[in-house]
Amino acid sequence: MNNKRVAYQGEPGAYSEAAALEFFGTPITTVACHNFDSVFASVTAGECDYGMIPIENSLAGSIHRNYDLLLRHDLQLVGEYHLRVSHCLLALPESSLTDIRIIHSHPQALAQCESNLRKMNIQQAAEADTAGSARLIREMNNLHAAALASRRAAEVYGLKILIENMEDNPANYTRFLALAPQLAAYIQPINNNQYKTSIVFSLSNTPGSLFKALSVFALRDIDLSKIESRPIPGKTWEYMFYIDFIGHVQDPICERAIAHLQELAPFLRVLGSYPRHKIEEPD
């Protein structure tokens, strides 16, 4: 994967960039994109080899925009990565904790550190993102300002970590998906449970249709790890269903489940089969 270009949403030092670096390893070239649409567009156009997008957070839930973009673009999922989101309090190298009068960060980061911030009794300022907050501290050159951001952001912007693990709940993970413009080479699974498959499908709006669709997996003891519904534009109260299940699409049991589902679903698309990434819970 040397010299591969990987697109992500945000600024240098963003958690999405950290996920890309940890998943792909170095050296890679990370490419910052203004929004999620730009990440998908850059991979679709061949400007980047891969994209790294967040799809859900263990505390905040699903990122619906990226579900919609997965359907809109003809890209393949080739991997997943669970990033432990750990917020650090960052300041200029000359600053000390007693100097800080205001803390900048994304509203979600501020909310995830609410209890610890309340104890500090320091003014808070909401910003567009965490990495941008770190960049702001460097640009302002203000000894009395700090940011909540990643350890990676401290490295990028030359800031000092005043406090680590500011988040109130240590079980804070974001699940990222790796995108590629074509099918990855199939690797014969040693154990089918080492793989995960993501699909999207529609159903006729008839009684029992969703029950029948889910039954194709239950009858074959296939473990569903995620189900998400998204409205279909222009069709009131009709939905696309996104499902993740444990197994590889080329495994015979999974193949039969997909074939069975195709008999029920007017539309079905396999988004990708990829190696599972299992979370190592913090102590």
Catalytic residue among 23, 24, 40, 176: 176
pLDDT for res 183: 61
| Region 192-275: CATH code | 3.30.70.260
First CA to last CA distance, the chain: 32
Based on its alpha-carbon atoms, the radius of gyration of the chain, rounded to whole angstroms, reads 21
- Point out the catalytic residue in the list 30, 130, 174, 197: 174
pLDDT at 191: 57
To the question of pTM greater than 0.85 for the whole model, the response is yes
**176 an active-site residue?**
yes
The domain 88-163: what is its CATH number? 3.40.190.10
CATH number of 5-84+172-180: 3.40.190.10
Q: pLDDT at position 3, please?
A: 83
Name the β-bridge partners of 244: 198, 226
Question: What is the chain's pLDDT, residue by residue, as a tens digit (283 residues)?
Answer: 458 999 999 999 999 999 999 999 878 999 999 999 999 999 999 999 999 999 999 888 899 999 999 999 999 999 999 999 999 999 999 999 999 999 999 998 999 999 999 999 999 999 988 999 999 999 999 999 999 999 999 999 999 999 999 999 999 999 999 999 876 444 444 456 689 999 999 999 899 999 999 999 999 999 999 999 999 999 988 999 999 999 999 999 999 999 999 999 999 999 999 999 988 765 5
| CATH topology match: 5-84+172-180 vs 88-163 | yes
Report whether the peptide linkage leading into residue 27 is cis, meaning its omega lies within 30 degrees of zero. Answer: yes
Q: What ranges do the domains of the chain cover?
A: 5-84+172-180, 88-163, 192-275
Backbone angles phi, psi at 230, to 5 degrees: -135, 135
Separation in Å, CA 64 to CA 117, 141, 147, 229, 242: 29, 37, 27, 9, 11
